[in-house]
């Protein structure tokens, strides 16, 4: 079996398509070597070895050792150097992790491996540069000590022990711990190596390994081991990466960015990953190695500055930029090192980008002929297109706001919120409903939870490829990083900037598009697309973004099989949704209208009535309001279909619960307060979600169904007469479990329809259907479909009833279920395809067996979740329905599902 794939010297065993086996990094190193880019030689140990390792008690396949030796021999041959050479310049290697999908900051890399007391001397001799050689050795011992040998900060220590040793020597020899690392001499570094090794011995009880092969084995084991560290696990959970995938290990010859002022390391993007603009973008550090750039210790210079410092290297990078885009047909995020003016490529991958950038890059690449429109549709993450709709600061408000400083724009959009300085307090405040900003010196994977909870992230240190920036872009969070004038005081929990001090809980505002930081709360205003489509404060021809958006949505319609409707309860919501391309209403919740104005009092009167005649009287007072609501909605729909659900929630939800409110109501409707109290008590339910709700209300109180049906038909007839377009109401009966329930309700609806049509002397077409939201309905869908002309899957309740899991109470145990991978995703956000999805599938098949042309839709929250939309497409649903601002997401998801 082949476990080791070599690359370098213009060829490779593997290629870019082998990401499952070689990991993303390994596959692309092979691909770059194949197309002649300057890649230092090396080899990749496959992900199969990782799987084997965990399946076999942390041991390796027996052939692995020999294959590794062979891989090293190939590198030695290409470079003319020997691993562990103590005479001439030794071959040093980097040991790098690399999963299928990149997991920023999760796995650890070890550089300069192969050095020991003897080979470092050989390196000194060969390079004539003792400072450089000892700097490499110092870095190696530190990284290896930390990552492989586990020498880390104890809980009672303030600093990492190695960092403390560096600070100590700076203090001793230069009088301050703040001098730059570059100040340290060869002798200082040599001394550090010896102190580091002493530290290793003290902390681990073992000598630091001198044998290069032992070092290599340890490093490879550490990479495989890191696949299951806490950070990696948290990251996998967030992004749904299965633990079975495993990571590959890349062993690669070192190139050195730390030989002096003609060397350096950098990270670059072929286009701007925040805005999507077609410009060379990135940063580099002179005389630096490894992760100095990403770590945010020194603030790097923009790559454009290389143009003046090292024009030849800059031009080479510009050439590589073009080669990469032409070859990979996508924006690339790449790592390079310049060693004595020669550029080496260490990594490339499809760059992470904001939703805004993904959208712009895809549209512009179609224009450039780099990709076709279908690729563009596939490539824009559906759940991120709503970033195009995210607010920007209100133009007037921002003029008034006090600008404090400028950082780097790392995640676009405007965010305002109360500041918190650590993840825990950030999460706590967000749980209490506050809008929060996370402010840190720099972020690390420990801060992930806080970043998820925050509206935006502000850091004082680090560049556009720092951890904060990477993660923010991926999560679509507003982010400003490297705002170095911001003083973050963790102890006093204050942030000082621009002569002002802010305490935790104070408001600040950040603009991740410009990098500007403001004092206080700044009002935000809608995006260009919103301005064109909704507020009409911008003309379509003035917005490139809008034009691209329109083009993308057209492409989506050209390939989608499903339609996208919206969940809307008011004309305004309806208009917004239609502007985003909704093709009708999939769910209009009539009860939402009951809370408007003082009509709630009539609702209460209706509920509190103990006699049918009283109830009929109260209900008829509601009729004109409901009719008005429906007319508004039908007008906004302009002839598009609208599904209206009859009253659904348990009645007590409408009743006053406190004594005070009850007294107040008694006065208003002239009913003794004792009667009200008694009725409230009667209506109390132990488990209202499974209680007297849905069609059970219409069965008990047919006059409610009658009133709602009348309001719908009168509105439909009148609007079609007044407006001249056909109105075809789709009346939906909720919570049906038995065909008979639907029969009873449909009989009422049909009777009222006849009455209204006779009174008005004209008729409209209409449909009567049901929600499928109870397992019994799903498994008897063939019977129900004899009556129902359409089904709409109410997946919120179907999940709740199908799993026997209250959606309001699941917060206390669902997170643990996700952690233990009992469930893959939150079942209330993304359909549980194997369970609830199977119920849906059964219902679809049974429904079609008795009514082949039955109309099928979904109207739960899941209708705006891309994975669920995809699932609905495989079921062959007619439409999905989601909230108005999710419509573009659902349209894109529907298109992607169909491609």
Neighbours of 406 (CB within 10 A): 16
Site string for ligand ADP, 21-60 (x = CB under 6 A): -------------------x--------------------
- Give the per-residue contact string, 284-323, with ligand ADP (x = CB under 6 A; - = no): ------xx--------------------------------
Size of the site for Mg ion (CB under 5 A): 3
Looking only at residues 321 through 350 of this chain, which bind Mg ion when binding is defined by CB under 5 A?
335, 347
Nearer to ligand ADP, 265 or 354 (CB): 265
Beta bridge partners of 414: 511
The entry of Mg ion, ligand ADP, none near residue 287 (CB within 5 to 8 angstroms by kind) is none
Q: Say whether residue 626 binds Mg ion (CB under 5 A).
A: no
Mark the segment that binds ligand ADP (CB under 6 A) among 246-254, 453-461, 462-470, 863-871.
246-254
The Cα–Cα gap between 68 and 762 comes to: 84
Q: What is the residue-wise DSSP string for 849-870?
A: HH-TT-EEEE-SGGGG-HHHHH
- Report helix, strand or coil for 88: coil
347 binds ligand ADP (CB under 6 A): yes
Q: Could you write out the three-class secondary structure of 477-507?
A: CEEEECCCCCEEECCCCEEEECCEEEECCCE
DSSP three-state, residue 815: helix
| Residue of 28, 46, 109, 252 that binds Mg ion (CB under 5 A) | 109
Span interacting with ligand ADP, options 67-75, 252-260, 444-452, 465-473, rule CB under 6 A: 252-260
**Measured from the CB atom, is 109 or 590 closer to Mg ion?**
109
Closest separation between CB of residue 347 and ligand ADP, Å? 5
**Token match 């490539």: residue?**
379
Q: Which stretch binds ligand ADP (CB under 6 A): 80-88, 250-258, 356-364, 849-857?
A: 250-258
The residue whose two tokens read 């077609």 is 278
Kindly give the pairing relationship between strand 790-793 and strand 855-858: parallel
* Residue 94 binds to ligand ADP (criterion: CB under 6 A): yes
Q: Given candidates 333, 335, 730, 865, which one binds ligand ADP under the rule CB under 6 A?
A: 335
How is the beta sheet containing 301-302 ordered, strand by strand? 301-302, 281-286, 264-269, 332-339, 342-350
Q: Minimal distance in Å, beta carbon 464 to ligand ADP?
A: 14
The greatest distance separating any two alpha carbons of the chain, rounded to the nearest whole angstrom, comes to: 105
- Select 337 or 626, whichever has its Cβ closest to ligand ADP: 337
Q: How far is the CB of 336 from ligand ADP (least distance, A)?
A: 8
Region of residue 232 (left: phi > 0; alpha: psi -120 to 50; beta: else): alpha
Rg (C-alpha) for the chain, rounded Å, is: 32
Pick the stretch among 104-112, 611-619, 712-720, 818-826 that binds Mg ion (CB under 5 A).
104-112
Listing DSSP states for 365-379 in one string gives HHHHTSS-HHHHHHH
Q: Name residue, tokens 């709630």.
A: 600
DSSP state of 830: S
Least distance (Å) between residue 289 CB and ligand ADP: 6
Contact between 100 and ligand ADP by CB under 6 A: the answer reads no
Distance CA 179, CA 626 (A): 74
Nearer to ligand ADP, 290 or 381 (CB): 290
- Binding-residue pattern over the window 706 to 745 for ligand ADP, x denoting contact by CB under 6 A: ----------------------------------------
Based on the shown chain and the rule CB under 6 A, indicate whether residue 99 belongs to the binding site for ligand ADP: no
Contacts with 686 (C-beta within 8 Å, 6 or more apart), sequence order: none
Q: Which residues contact 819 (CB under 8 A, 6 or more apart)?
A: 237
Active site residues: 467, 859
Nearest to 363 by CA among 282, 277, 280, 281: 277
Measuring CA to CA, which residue among 363, 278, 272 is closest to residue 545? 363
Nearest to Mg ion of 43, 828 (CB atom):
43
Between the CA atoms of 411, 416, 418 and 421, what dihedral angle is there, to the nearest 10 degrees? Answer: 20
For residues 500-559, which are near ligand ADP according to CB under 6 A?
A: none
Stretch touching ligand ADP by CB under 6 A, among 249-257, 428-436, 473-481, 580-588? 249-257
User: What does 290 interact with, of ligand ADP, Mg ion, none (CB < 5 to 8 A by kind)?
Assistant: ligand ADP
What 3-state DSSP class applies to 871? helix
- When asked if residue 795 is in the footprint of Mg ion (CB under 5 A), the reply is no
Tell me how far, at minimum, the Cβ of 335 lies from Mg ion, in Å: 5
CB of 253 to ligand ADP, least distance (A): 6
By CB under 6 A, residue 252 contacts ligand ADP: yes
Q: Is the dihedral of CA 325, 329, 331, 333 positive or negative?
A: negative
DSSP reduced 3-state for 407:
coil
Query: CB of residue 306 vs ligand ADP: minimum separation in angstroms?
Result: 16
Interface positions with Mg ion (CB under 5 A): 109, 335, 347
Interface positions with ligand ADP (CB under 6 A): 40, 94, 96, 109, 111, 252-255, 265, 290-291, 335, 337, 346-347
């Amino acid at each position: 079996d082949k476990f080791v794939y070599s690359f370098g010297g213009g060829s490779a065993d593997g290629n870019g398509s082998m990401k499952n086996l070689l990991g993303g990094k390994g596959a692309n190193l092979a691909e770059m070597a194949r197309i002649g880019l300057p890649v230092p030689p090396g080899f990749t140990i496959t992900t199969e070895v990782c799987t084997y390792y965990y399946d076999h008690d942390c041991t390796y396949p027996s052939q692995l050792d020999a294959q590794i030796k062979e891989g090293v021999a190939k590198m030695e041959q290409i470079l003319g150097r020997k691993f562990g050479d103590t005479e001439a310049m030794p071959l040093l290697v980097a040991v790098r992790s690399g999963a299928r999908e990149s997991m920023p900051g999760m796995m650890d890399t070890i550089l300069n491996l192969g050095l020991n007391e003897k080979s470092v001397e050989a390196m000194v001799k060969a390079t004539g540069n003792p400072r450089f050689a000892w700097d490499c050795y110092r870095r190696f011992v530190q990284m290896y000590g930390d990552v492989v040998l586990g020498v880390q900060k104890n809980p009672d220590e303030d600093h990492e022990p190695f960092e403390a040793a560096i600070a100590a020597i700076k203090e001793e020899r230069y009088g301050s711990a703040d001098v730059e690392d570059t100040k340290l001499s060869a002798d200082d570094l040599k001394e550090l190596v010896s102190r580091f090794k002493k530290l290793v011995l003290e902390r681990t009880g073992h000598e630091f390994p001198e044998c290069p092969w032992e070092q290599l084995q340890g490093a490879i084991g550490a990479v495989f081991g890191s696949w299951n560290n806490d950070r990696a696990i948290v990251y996998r959970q967030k992004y749904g990466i299965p633990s079975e995938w495993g990571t590959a290990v890349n062993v690669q010859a070192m190139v050195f960015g730390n030989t002096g002022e003609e060397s350096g390391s950098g990270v670059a993007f072929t286009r701007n990953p925040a805005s999507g603009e077609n410009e060379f973008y990135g940063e580099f550090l002179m005389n630096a190695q490894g992760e100095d750039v990403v770590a945010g210790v020194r603030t790097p210079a923009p790559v454009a500055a290389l143009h003046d410092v090292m024009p030849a290297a800059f031009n080479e990078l510009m050439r590589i930029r073009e080669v990469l885009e032409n070859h990979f047909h996508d924006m690339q995020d790449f790592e390079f090192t310049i060693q004595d003016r020669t550029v080496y490529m260490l990594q490339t991958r499809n760059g992470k980008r904001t939703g805004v950038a993904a959208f712009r890059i895809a549209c512009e690449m179609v224009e450039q002929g780099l990709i076709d429109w279908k690729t563009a549709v596939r490539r824009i993450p559906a759940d991120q297109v709503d970033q195009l709709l995210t607010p920007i600061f209100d133009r007037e408000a921002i003029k008034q706001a006090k600008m404090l400083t400028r950082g780097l724009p790392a995640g676009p959009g405007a965010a305002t919120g109360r500041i918190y300085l650590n993840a825990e307090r950030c999460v706590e405040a967000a749980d209490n409903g506050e809008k929060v900003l996370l402010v840190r010196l720099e972020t690390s994977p420990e801060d992930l939870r806080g970043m998820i909870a925050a509206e935006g992230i502000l850091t004082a240190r680090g560049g556009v490829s720092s951890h904060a920036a990477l993660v923010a872009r991926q999560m679509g969070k507003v982010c400003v990083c490297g705002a170095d004038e911001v003083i973050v005081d963790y102890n006093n929990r204050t942030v000082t900037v621009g002569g002002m001090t802010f305490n935790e809980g104070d408001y600040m505002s950040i603009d991740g598009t410009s990098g500007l930081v403001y004092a206080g709360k700044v009002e935000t205003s809608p995006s260009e697309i919103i301005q064109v489509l909704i507020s009409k404060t911008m003309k379509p021809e003035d917005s490139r973004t809008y034009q691209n958006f329109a083009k993308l949505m057209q492409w989506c319609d050209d390939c989608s099989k499903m339609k996208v409707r919206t969940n809307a309860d008011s004309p305004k919501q309806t208009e917004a949704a239609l502007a985003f391309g909704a093709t009708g209403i999939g769910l209009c919740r009539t009860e939402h209208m009951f809370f408007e104005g003082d009509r709630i009092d009539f609702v209460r009167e209706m509920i509190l009535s103990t006699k049918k005649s009283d109830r009929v009287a109260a209900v008829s007072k509601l009729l004109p309001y409901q009719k008005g609501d429906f007319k508004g909605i039908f007008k906004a729909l302009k002839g598009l279909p609208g599904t209206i659900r009859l009253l659904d929630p348990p009645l007590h939800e409408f009743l006053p619960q406190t004594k005070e409110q009850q007294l107040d109501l008694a006065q208003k409707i002239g009913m003794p307060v004792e009667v009200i109290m008694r009725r409230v008590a009667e209506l109390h339910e132990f488990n209202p979600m499974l209680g007297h709700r849905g069609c059970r209300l219409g069965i008990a109180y047919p006059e409610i169904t009658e009133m709602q049906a009348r309001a719908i038909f009168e509105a439909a007839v009148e609007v079609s007469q007044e407006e001249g377009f056909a109105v075809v109401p789709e009346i939906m009966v909720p919570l049906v479990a038995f065909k008979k329930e639907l029969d009873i309700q449909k009989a009422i609806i049909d009777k009222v329809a006849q009455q209204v049509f006779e009174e008005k002397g004209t008729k409209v077409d209409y449909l009567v259907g049901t929600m499928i939201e109870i397992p019994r309905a799903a498994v008897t869908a063939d019977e129900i479909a004899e009556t129902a002309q359409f089904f709409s899957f109410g997946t919120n309740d179907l999940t709740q009833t199908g799993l026997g899991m209250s959606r309001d109470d699941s917060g206390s145990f669902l997170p643990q279920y996700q952690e233990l991978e009992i469930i893959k995703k939150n079942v209330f956000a993304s359909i549980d395809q194997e369970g609830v999805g199977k119920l849906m599938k059964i219902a679809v098949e049974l429904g079609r067996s008795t009514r082949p042309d039955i109309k099928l839709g979904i109207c739960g929250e899941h209708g705006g979740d891309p994975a669920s939309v995809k699932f609905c497409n495989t079921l062959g649903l007619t439409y999905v329905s989601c909230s108005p601002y999710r419509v573009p997401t659902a349209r894109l998801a529907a298109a992607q599902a169909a491609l």
